[in-house]
Structure 1
Amino acid sequence: MTRDKRLIRGARTAASALLTLFLGVFAGMYPGADAAQAAAPASTAAAHTATPSNVQHACGAVGEGQARCLALVRTDVHGGRGVRGRAAKAAGLSASDQTLPDGYGPADLRSAYNLPSTGGQDQTIALVDAYDDASAEADLAVYRATYGLPACTTDNGCFRKVDQRGAADPLPPQEAELGWGTEVALDLDMASAACPQCHILLVEADNETDSNLAASVDTAVALGATEVSNSYGVTESHRSLGFAKDYTHPGVAIVASSGDFGYTVPTEPAVYPSVVSVGGTSLTRAATSRGWQESAWSNANSGCSAWFDKPSWQQDEDCPGRTVADVSADADPDTPLAIYDTSSPRRGGGGWGESGGTSASAPFVAGVIALAGNPSAFPDASRLYSATAASGLNDVVGGSNGNCAGDYLCTAVPGYDAPTGNGTPNGLSAF
């Protein structure tokens, strides 16, 4: 590198550090991704694509010390209730019910990411959410039956639901707005799509406070989870330091959504160095040997931490702290995932719908790790940065989630970039 280029890069790094520190402090004073986003200059965090009018955040804005679930829901899709596809045909239901729901299903995702349909029988994926979703197990049964996945129920020992202390009763109350119920449905369906033979543990925190969600992660690990997925975010601040230990469990892969607000201040738990941070892509079919193509999703979070040092295994040069994200998968509600959710009355009574957000990509990647059966290799994300991992990842090139003059912090470039990390799964060798 020439002296001039080193000077330019050094100046840009210093500016990035100062800006991120300012935004991090601002976020600590006025928490929530929406507030931090509104405060950011147009040249940084605020310049990403707005959420489309036909897409709704399942959970609303939150206050200090509260996490926002990151599920996005298409409001223009109402697919009805009940089993579809082969299950409907076997039951003698109408021809319309015999058609699979719109949105990508498990077979599509297996094809896109070159995944086997079996494996993970000895793995337990924990999904940490807030409040109770009373319809969780019943909705999961419809999703799995529709796509021909093996049943995962309390009775057969595959499914378990507990509160943040590990008790099956009493469970937390349902949230008034029911946004977290949609999050639960998306988490369950995406973990099932990635690893149909894995066991599933749903841990429901008493509410959306960062302390209760952190405690729920500890409970999941204590109950034997091998992977723990967290589809929520709290804008990083001084408070984040106090919960890092709850997301540090060597031997267990801890995975978290990067967020759905573009190039901005990172969120916890995705920003923790012990966590695999999962960004988002737009996934479409293509006339290529893979049959698919991907670009950075315009709303996937990326950012440079002002509170956590750069891990030794992360070598990008324009961020002096921890960079988010590490890896990615489809999260674009315009290239949506099919979900089944009857918890929310806001979508025509619920049932089949289409969803997205990094709330989809995180549990899916947790399922990929479980499918590979090697969670102890993920005390952090370092495995995904190794030279041998490259052949097991699809490098995502193209697309942006903000304005950073084409820099990798908000633009999908060859090799590592912040919106998509090191790429998306291409088989299991990287995992």
Structure 2
Amino acid sequence: MIRRGNHRLFAVLGAAVLAAGAITAAVAPANAATAKSNVKDVCGAAKPGFDRCFAQARIDVHEPAHIGRVAGAAGKAAAAAAPAGFGPADLHAAYNLPSAGGANQTVAIVDAGDDPAAEADLAVYRSTYGLPACTTANGCFSKVNQSGAASSPPADQGWGVEISLDLDMVSAACPQCKILLVEADSANTNDLGASVDTAVRLGATEVTNSYGGTESSVTPGDAAHYTHPGVAIVASSGDSGYGIPNEPAVFSSVVAVGGTSLTKAADARGWTETAWNSDGGAASSGCSAWIDKPTWQTDANCPGRMVADVSADADPQTGPAVYVTDTLGQPLQPGWNIVGGTSASSPFVAGVIALAGNPGKYADASSFYAPAARGGLNDVVGGNNVTGLDCGGDYQCNAVAGYDGPTGMGSPNGLSAF
């Protein structure tokens, strides 16, 4: 691992800023949403040695739960009764996904602290949209602490909204997948990394991580927790726009997932996507100063690992419906909310990988860069993720034809690239 002082990104900041660790304040606000009116970061700025979740919640849209929203045993619900926000059918249509697959896959979700309502909330989401039940009783759902025991962590860490988002997005992408929720004792980077190791030990085929912290000199030492050949390790790029990349997304063994704004359109696809940059934040991208460039990345202006690799809907303004009752510390009411951030795109992409059933392909993200994968990805063109620092017209912060930082190689178009 070598440090580089000549990044396009750091030409403005100077190498000394990075060495001092004064990265977040120098590049862009950690909470890009604080000045916005209708979106709030679920997790606040993290203290040193800790990570923050990347979920962003709409605070102007809420619907309480009631019987009319629940599909019932027959799995039927009127379209007019659906909660606000995209549901599984919307996302499957947007990304051309099959309805079946992944029954032999286990997607692990790693989060901090306990959500005592996780399984009950998941049941409401799945029944509302007519998805098969996923419970402890039928063997589909399991929840453990970072050591792998059935007991919960000592306290709620305020990540309940994040946990519900993760569970719902995996369910939306892959309704037949098993789900393993691993709750770390805290958001400390060591606890979260240990939880990834536990997920793999317990048989996860995919692990999604919707959290991160700005890379630094200690980043290379954390890589081992996110290096598990044979298991697809997926992570959110972040929600602060163009700047210093976040770990764990920056590791070369991780599929780094960026974010798009997804809207319905009257065209052949029926949907349009641009790089996510709206009220609330923007998909993170950046060029690593600490992780060497993998051989399968060939973009011209970044000598290190470039984030992201692929993308999916992350814009809370065009986000999915999420059912959550554990709203500790949030200006949200229990029930249906719209939640986004790359915390939505990472578990969704992990679910798409599981739907395809080829986790062994993902010792790294190289398969997405192969020419054969291009037909299976929507090339996202348009928009940028500039929230402070600007890369000019460069691909590092602008969604252009081919590879770019905010959206990577593109979003899923069926399973041929997966």
**TM-score, normalised via structure 1 length:** 0.89
1:300 to 283, 293, 299: 283
User: Which residue of the other structure, out of 274, 299, 310, is the alignment partner of 1:327?
Assistant: 310
Q: 1:58 touches 1:70 (CA, 8 Å); kept in 2? A: yes
State the distance in 2 between where 1:92 and 1:169 align.
35
Q: Name 1:29's counterpart in structure 2.
A: 21
Cα 1:141/1:409, change in 2 over 3 Å: same
Q: Distance in 2 between matches of 1:148 and 1:57?
A: 30
**Retained in 2: the 8 A contact 1:24–1:237?**
no
Find 1:393's aligned residue among 374, 377, 398: 377
SS at match of 2:71: helix
* Partner Cα separation in structure 1 for residue 72 and residue 84 of structure 2: 15
Distance in 2 between residues matched to 1:50 and 1:199, nearest whole Å: 33
* Alignment partners' CA distance in 2, 1:20 and 1:386: 34
Equivalence map 1:122-141=2 (5 Å): 122-141=104-123
User: Quick one: which amino acid aligns to residue 418 of structure 1?
Assistant: G
Matches within 5 A, 1:139-154: 139-154=121-136
- The alpha carbon displacement at 1:156 in A equals 0.2
Q: Counterpart of 2:271 in structure 1: which amino acid?
A: W
* Structure 2 counterpart SS, 1:116: coil
Does 2:26 correspond to 1:39?
yes
- Correspondence 1:248 to 2:222: no
TM-score by length of 2: 0.92
**What letter matches 1:284 in structure 2?**
T
Displacement, 1:23?
Answer: 7.8
- For residue 222 of structure 1, what is the amino acid of its counterpart? R
Q: In structure 2, which of residues 36, 59, 64 is the aligned counterpart of residue 75 of structure 1?
A: 59
Alignment counterpart, residue 356 of structure 1, candidates 303, 323, 340 = 340
What secondary structure is seen at the aligned counterpart in 1 of 2:99? coil
CA contact (8 A) 1:80 1:350 kept: yes
Aligned residue pair count: 405
Separation in 1, partners of 2:123, 2:33:
34
**Maintained 8 Å contact 1:274/1:379:** yes
Are the aligned partners of 1:24 and 1:306 in contact in 2 as well (CA < 8 Å)?
A: no
Quick one: distance in 2 between partners of 1:22 and 1:218? 33
Counterpart of 2:366 in structure 1 is: 382
Distance 1:14 1:144, change over 3 A: closer
Q: Give the superposition deviation at 1:211.
A: 0.3
SS of corresponding position for 1:262 = strand
- Structure 2 CA distance for partners of 1:23 and 1:330, relative to 1, 3 Å: farther
Task: Show CA shifts across 1:142-168 (max 9, x none).
Answer: 000000000000000000000000000
**Deviations 1:238-258 (CA, angstroms, capped at 9, x unpaired):** 121111011000000000000
- 2: CA distance, partners of 1:91 / 1:297: 33
Distance 1:157 1:395, change over 3 A: same
Residue 55 of structure 1 corresponds to 39
Structure 1 letter corresponding to 2:21: M
Whose helix proportion is higher, 1 or 2? Answer: 1
State the alpha-carbon separation in 1 of the partners of residues 74 and 305 from structure 2.
51
**Residue equivalent to 1:312:** 295
| One-letter amino acid of the structure 2 residue matched with residue 334 of structure 1 | Q
**What CA distance in whole angstroms lies between the structure 2 residues aligned with 1:116 and 1:15?**
41
Quick one: which of 250, 269, 272 aligns to 1:290? Answer: 269
Distance 2:408 2:25 in 1: 25
Q: Could you tell me whether the CA contact under 8 Å between 1:159 and 1:200 is conserved in 2? A: yes
User: 2:100 corresponds to which residue?
Assistant: 118
> Percentage identity across aligned positions?
61
2:208 — aligned with what? Answer: 229
2:399 matches 1:412? yes
Q: Corresponding residue for 1:365?
A: 349
Q: Which residue of 1 aligns with 2:255?
A: 276
The corresponding residue for 1:198 is: 177
Q: Where do 5+ consecutive residues of structure 2 fail to align? A: none
Cα distance, 1:53 vs. partner?
Answer: 1.3
Distance 1:68 1:160, change over 3 A: same
Q: Which amino acid aligns with 1:368?
A: V
